[in-house]
Structure 1
Amino acid sequence: MLRCAVLFLSLFWFVPAWAQGKLLVSTHPIYLIAKEITKGVEEPELLLKNQTGHDVQLTPANRKSIQSAELIIWVGKEHEAPLEKLLHNQNKAISILNSGIIQALPLRNTRGAALKNTVDTHVWLDPNNAVRIGFFIAALRSQQHPENKALYWDNARKFAKEMLLVSKQFNATSNAKPYWAFHDAYQYLERPLNLKFAGALTDDPHVAVTLGQIKYLNDTRPYTKMCLLAESNASPSQYQKLGQIAFQKVDENLSEQQRFVGAWKQLAQETQRCVSDARK
């Protein structure tokens, strides 16, 4: 995987070491990873403060940051479509989804069927992907600033070790535990937490829940009481007809957190507790 990153850099892009400049990162979870990799060298800047990639409102200050950045790391057009027009022709803008360094899964419909030619962009929730992103950032910055290469790579190795140790705490040998989601944004947690997706209320958190989908979930529910993972803005009126549920507020963007591993661990603990409570 690291050889792929180095090959990518050598073939497509090079910035001389003397051109010291800012590292700009599009969204919060990738920014948290970047902070771990650049610790002791530089402080990356977050482009989309208090925003997700789906709802982007760029200010003049944002545009200035894009213009002045030495390197821009973004998830990609599938996650941050409003940024594509600004970034697609800039060699300094590197898309994680187009880098070839992560393993992506397709989107699923509300009943769990994979959708062809799609990608679930919440790739950072997979611990292995988070580690790959960390090493990729280390490779990019080391190419630009070889004088800091040893520290970037040391940080990446420390981040990888911590991330993988934490994720292994949740490995289970029991049967996969079913759960519901308000919208399907957590499938990258299913492997490390041994979860099984049993359906979502809606394809889009901004789209109203249909009575037909509520009926489908109730008719196919694996347990009398089910865990429902939902964003904090989900209204009880949207899921009160689901019967017995264990409701768990979750945030796949880790937006209130300051360290990636701690944020991932908290999300994993909340999810695991929800599915366990639902089976009692």
Structure 2
Amino acid sequence: MNGGELGRVCADGEIIFKEGEKGEVMYVIQSGRVRITKQTLDGDITIATLERGEIIGEMSLFDKLPRSATAIACGEARLLSIDKKKLFSNISRDPTLVFRILETMSQRIRKLNENLAKLEKDRVGILKLYVKVEDICCMVLEEAKNAVKADNGSVMILNDEKLLSVKAAFGEKSDHTVKLAVGYGIAGDVLNTGTAELINNVSMDARFVHGTMPVKSLLCVPLKCRNDVFGVINMSNSSERLFSLNDLEFLSLLSLYASIAIQNALNFSRLKTVADEMLMRVTMLNTVTI
């Protein structure tokens, strides 16, 4: 992190602060973007990507608890650091500043509580073992559609040919025959990196692959277990509707439970295939013996 006249400059991928460490300053993003990640049993997930004008690490100035998440620069990012002394000095000059900070904190906490409450309510159903992978994918997609307003959506799973194939989809022109290689297109790139993506103007993204339906904005999160990425959840809009950071956060949380359920269904399918093959061999052996 280098100093500058307008703040401090972080290089792409540089960690601004880590989850669990002590925090004594907050930051205002002056330019660039910052990715916020959270540790889970299956590895780190991205819960938000914040941009210019937004505040990060503000809770460290109001409590003595460790950082609740990790902040990482996405590309070059310029940050203004504010400690408690500087904050109070700024508040004395502009009292409305404290209300803006509290409003930001309140909105984030309120939305996170709503998302967690919904997932807690629904996760029992999500974690049930379904015989067909397609069934669990349809249910996951239905949960996503109920929470995130989108025109189209799909769940894609890596098949035996190492291609992403559609297991469930919705939308006027949804195509169940689409297959993508690892690293190809935005979904293929998310599968390759394991990092969620929120893109509200796909025409500006060179990775975007045009399909049968017009797409203007896209939300894509990975499905993974123990850092093994095996699929993605896609949500897209053909209209002018944009996705929000709250949409990304919810879909990332949903993917945690969805990954477990889908992986269970995949394992069940593999075991059933092995059992069927063994039964066939036993039947053939009995036929020959008789």
TM-score by length of 2: 0.29
Say which structure is richer in strand: 2
TM-score by length of 1: 0.30
